[in-house]
Structures are given as structure tokens and as C-alpha cells.
């Protein structure tokens, strides 16, 4: 019987550090070709090949011919079982430094890596939680014993543990909009820690739960810091999308503006209606803001959007200079480019929206399956 005694597991956290630190790693992905082509592990220093598991049942010679000698090798599958089997075969063929991804792509999809973005003027800090396997970004704003979490992922225990480590109490959870690519943990986290849950009311017309109305003109205090929501009503990705200015220095843009792209307006089936709002937000509302604000989006589409410390951020001025979605001068051309070149829709996005409205209560395993795959909230995420 095969054992795993010689195989070394690699956790999603360890793999994240490989990617952030741009370390060399060879990946053998043994999922089927459709799943691999739809969603794979990428990064500078990462070399990846795909040989489906069923092609390796009779031996791993085909894999050995392509696996470099003397380099760390990570075998990846959906849940880990197939990768353990293949990794053991490779070791028995005489290779060393062979790892398998613990928990498979499901664990990769769920891992959250906190990275400090910067300090606040009164002594607080802002952290970006990078869900590197799915391209989702959430935030914790900390100031004088209190915290607020923005665009919370469903793995709420990560935020609770981090808050405990920082010796702060989570007072608020906020969603910039009703999400369609991942299940929000904002309401659950608020219930668990006794915080207020905030949601834009224009996105909440069908929700089945109570929430605090996130509207223009509000100032939500976090310790000695203010999350200044006025006047950043920023529709386009959804009709209620709202951006936050934090400490007069950071602009949390939700799914409206990313580092290399812009948000898509079609996930509620209203692309033609909302593309005008998207244009107005990007070309008018945001242009009224100080251009030295540091943009912190809710997603990234490519690993190259992550900076040296692993976070995704850039000044508003940089984005107006370099982001293709902010440099389409003609509004008619903008409408055409946005509505006619949309990427595939996120996996199970309708069910995710229903869940975030409180209309569905899927099990934890069902939630994992609903979220598998890339986020595809940006125009360039094809």
C-alpha cells in the first residue's frame, strides 16, 4: 500500500509565500484539462504543466520526461487525493523534493493572506487580505482598539483570529456592493462578533435580513479613524456600488476599479443600463477626487498586479495614466468595449447572488463548490 511518509505536504499559505516572494517552483497539475485551462496557479517563478490524473494511472513516465531534476515540484489536484497518489509514484521513480498541495485547489481557493498596506495618521493601520487563489481582496482597518472589515470573505475565522492577534474589537463589517463572484462573510462575521453590518440599500432591495444602510454622507468612526463614505456613491458594477475613503489617504473601490482593468456591469443582467453609470463613476466622479489617493480594489485579475510586498495598490494618478479602462476617450467606444468584450461569467454567480441576498442557505461544502474558479469581475478577466 502506498504511504505518504516520503511525500511532503505544502500548505496554501506556504505556496502563497512562494508566489509573493517570486521563488521558483515547478507545478504538475493533474486535474482535467477543462478545469486546468479555466483556473490554474500562476506567478513569476512558477512553471506549470497539466497532465490529467487518468493519464498517469499506468505510470508517471510521461510526467518524468517533463519534470526538471533538482527543482522543487508541487503536484496539484482538486482536493489532494490524486496528487498524493501521483507524487508517491514520482518519488518511487527516484525523484526528490516532491510536494503535494494540502487540501488541493479547494484550500488554494480559500486561503487568505494578510498584508499590511500602510499606517494611518493617528497610529492605526490598514491590512489587505489577499485571497490569492481566487483574486479577491478584503480589508481590515484598525485604529485604537477597534476594527472594521470591508468586503469580508466567507472564511470569517481568519478575521476573528487576526483581530485577536492585534488586540482589537471588530465594530463594523461593510460590503461595497452585493457580490456575485464570492459569498460574503460580512453579515456572518458581524453576527459572530456583535458588529454592525453595512450594505448599500440600492443593492439590498431583495435581501432577507436586516442591515445598516450604507449611504452617502455617513462617517463611520473606527477608533480615531473615519471611514469617509461621502461623496463616493460609485455605481456601475452594481447599482449600489459604494467606494470608501479611509483616513483621507486610501480609496477602497470595490469592484469598480482595479489596478489593470475596470469592473464589469453585467452580473445582474443589466449591462446596457449600468455601463453608463460605470462610465460616469470612472470618468467623472473619481476624477473629482484627489489623484494621490491610494486605490485599494476588491479584486485583482493577474498576479502581476501584486506589488513587492504582495499587495495590490496604486495611486489614482497612476491608474489614470496606465489603466486601459480609464483611457477610452469616446463614451460610445467605452460602451462598446465594455459590453461587447465581456469575459465569461463567474461560476455559479446567480446562486452566489441569491446566497448573498439571504434567499439561499447552502451548506459549507456547497459554498466551496460555488466559489471554485477565478473571480472574473474585471473586463480583462477572460
Indicate the SS3 state at residue 66: coil
Look-up of cell digits 469616446? 330
DSSP 284: I
Burial of 85 (0-12, 13-18, 19+ CB in 10 A): buried
Contacts of 21 (CB under 8 A, 6+ apart): none
**Of 270, 275, 265, the residue nearest 377 (C-alpha):** 265
| Strand ranges inside the chain, DSSP E | 8-10, 25-29, 46-50, 73-76, 98-101, 113-119, 125-131, 136-143, 146-150, 169-174, 196-199, 212-213, 219-222, 225-228, 244-246, 250-254, 294-297, 314-315
C-alpha cell at 348: 455559479
Walk across the sheet containing 8-10 and list its strands: 8-10, 98-101, 73-76, 25-29, 46-50
Residues tagged active-site: 77
Set of cell numbers at residue 296: 485599494
Whole-number CA gyration radius for the chain: 21
Amino acid at each position: 500500500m502506498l504511504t505518504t511518509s516520503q511525500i511532503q505536504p505544502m500548505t496554501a499559505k506556504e505556496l502563497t509565500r512562494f508566489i509573493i516572494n517570486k521563488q521558483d517552483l515547478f507545478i504538475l497539475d493533474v486535474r482535467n484539462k477543462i478545469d486546468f485551462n479555466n483556473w490554474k496557479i500562476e506567478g513569476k517563478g512558477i512553471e506549470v504543466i497539466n497532465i490529467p490524473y487518468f493519464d498517469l494511472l499506468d505510470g508517471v513516465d510521461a510526467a518524468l520526461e517533463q519534470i526538471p531534476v533538482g527543482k522543487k515540484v508541487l503536484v496539484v489536484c482538486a482536493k489532494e487525493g490524486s496528487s498524493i497518489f501521483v507524487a508517491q509514484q514520482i518519488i518511487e521513480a527516484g525523484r526528490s523534493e516532491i510536494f503535494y498541495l494540502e487540501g488541493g485547489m479547494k484550500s488554494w481557493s480559500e486561503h487568505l493572506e494578510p498584508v499590511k498596506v500602510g499606517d494611518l495618521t493617528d497610529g492605526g493601520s490598514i491590512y489587505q487580505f489577499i485571497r490569492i487563489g481566487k483574486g479577491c481582496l478584503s480589508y481590515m482597518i484598525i485604529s485604537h482598539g477597534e476594527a472594521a472589515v470591508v468586503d469580508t470573505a466567507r472564511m470569517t475565522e481568519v478575521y476573528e483570529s487576526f483581530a485577536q492577534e492585534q488586540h482589537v474589537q471588530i465594530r463594523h463589517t461593510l460590503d461595497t456592493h452585493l457580490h456575485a463572484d464570492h459569498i460574503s462573510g460580512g453579515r456572518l462575521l458581524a453576527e459572530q462578533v456583535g458588529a454592525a453590518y453595512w450594505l448599500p440599500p440600492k443593492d439590498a432591495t431583495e435581501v432577507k435580513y436586516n442591515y445598516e444602510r450604507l449611504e452617502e454622507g455617513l462617517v463611520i468612526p473606527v477608533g480615531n479613524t473615519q471611514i469617509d463614505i461621502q461623496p463616493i456613491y460609485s455605481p456601475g458594477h452594481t447599482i449600489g456600488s459604494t467606494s470608501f475613503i479611509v483616513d483621507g489617504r486610501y480609496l477602497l473601490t470595490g469592484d469598480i476599479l482595479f489596478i489593470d482593468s475596470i469592473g464589469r456591469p453585467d452580473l445582474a443582467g443589466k449591462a446596457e443600463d449600468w455601463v453608463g453609470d460605470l462610465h460616469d463613476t470612472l470618468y467623472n466622479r473619481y476624477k473629482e477626487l484627489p489623484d494621490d489617493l491610494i486605490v485599494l480594489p476588491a479584486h485583482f485579475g493577474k498576479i502581476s498586479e501584486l506589488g513587492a510586498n504582495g499587495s495590490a495598490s496604486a495611486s489614482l494618478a497612476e491608474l489614470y495614466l496606465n489603466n486601459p479602462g480609464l483611457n477610452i476617450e469616446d463614451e460610445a467606444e467605452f460602451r462598446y468595449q465594455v459590453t461587447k468584450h465581456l469575459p465569461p461569467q463567474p461560476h455559479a454567480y446567480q446562486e452566489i447572488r441569491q446566497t448573498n441576498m439571504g434567499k439561499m442557505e447552502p451548506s459549507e461544502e456547497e459554498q466551496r463548490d460555488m466559489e471554485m474558479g477565478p473571480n472574473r469581475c474585471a473586463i480583462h478577466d477572460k
